[in-house]
């Protein structure tokens, strides 16, 4: 019963909260769609936190996505043992990189006076949820080896079943507790997404790539003379 609630109901509830929350935030406070960077208040610790965190987490998220989209490609890749080792070691190294970055970000928010004064409860909650995600993810990588192999045979069909609105709970019900916590925590992060600074993931200024050049006129008065 509990497996049904957390793996068949919770993901959809989280998605619904995320969608409604995002629409609400966009309509009530459009300009808050940002990372609210605090770089001008403190830069050095931010560098050691933000750079490893962002490089690591983006690659790890892409890895999770790749496993869902191309499971047979991952299985074929892993068919040669040395490639499986490289993939596993790379994943573990990225996880450690992300953990180091996140610890820096948390220490910065907890210890720097100027940063503490602009830190909200939601900022801390988000960083703690992300920490739980990284710890359970790293724990899974360490205690349940060859994750890239079993992920595509268990998590991939489960996640795909969510998209076809027929959740195959059985795949997750048979997982170790650590993996279950990792998955449930992902739903919780999805639910709090609109109420945190994570919304900056949606406001990356990609439009800069295709918008027309801005024409800046210097010394306009002089041109007229
Ligand atoms: C291309 C994608 C992304 C860009 C351009 C980006 C950019 C930024 C920027 C500019 C900041 C403000 C702090 C700073 O100046 O470094 C920030 C903070 C943050 N980002 Fe991202 N980000 C991206 C993706 C992500 C992803 C995928 C996650 C997590 C799943 C994430 C989580 C965070 C968190 C938690 C903070 C707050 C850190 C703190 O100040 O405590 N970001 N991001």
* 199 Cβ closer than 6 Å to some ligand 1 atom: no
What is the pTM assigned to this prediction?
A: 0.89
- Index of the ligand 1 atom closest to the CA of residue 115: 40
- The pick from 108, 200, 202 for probing ligand 1's pocket by mutation, whose C-beta has the most ligand atoms within 8 angstroms, reads 200
* 203 Cβ closer than 6 Å to some ligand 1 atom: no
Distance CA 162, CA 7 (A): 9
pLDDT tens digits along 201-214:
988 766 666 777 76
- Index of the ligand 1 atom closest to the CA of residue 36: 12
pLDDT tens digits along 115-169:
999 999 999 999 999 999 999 999 999 999 999 999 999 999 999 999 999 999 9
| Distances 125 to 31, 58, 115 between C-alpha atoms, Å | 22, 20, 15
Which domains can be identified in the chain, with CATH numbers? 2-224 (1.20.950.20)
Residue 114, helix vs strand vs coil: helix
């Amino acid at each position: 019963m509990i497996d049904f609630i957390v793996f068949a109901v919770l993901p959809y509830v989280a998605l619904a909260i995320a969608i409604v929350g995002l629409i609400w935030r966009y309509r009530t406070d459009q300009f808050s769609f940002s990372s609210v960077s605090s770089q001008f208040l403190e830069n050095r610790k931010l560098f050691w936190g933000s750079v490893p965190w962002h490089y690591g987490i983006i690659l790890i998220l892409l890895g999770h996505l790749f496993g869902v989209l191309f499971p047979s490609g991952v299985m074929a890749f892993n068919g040669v043992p040395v490639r499986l080792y490289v993939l596993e070691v790379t994943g573990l190294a990225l996880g450690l990189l992300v953990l180091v970055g996140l610890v820096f970000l948390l220490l910065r928010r907890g210890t720097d006076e100027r940063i503490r004064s602009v830190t909200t409860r939601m900022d801390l909650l988000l960083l703690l949820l992300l920490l739980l995600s990284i710890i359970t993810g790293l724990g899974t990588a360490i205690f349940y080896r060859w994750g890239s192999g079993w992920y595509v045979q268990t998590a991939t069909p489960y996640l795909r079943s969510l998209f076809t609105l027929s959740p195959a709970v059985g795949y997750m019900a048979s997982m170790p507790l650590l993996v279950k916590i990792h998955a449930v925590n992902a739903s919780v992060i999805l639910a709090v997404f609109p109420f945190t600074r994570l919304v900056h993931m949606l406001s990356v200024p990609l439009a800069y790539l295709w918008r027309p050049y801005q024409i800046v006129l210097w010394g306009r008065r002089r041109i007229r003379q």
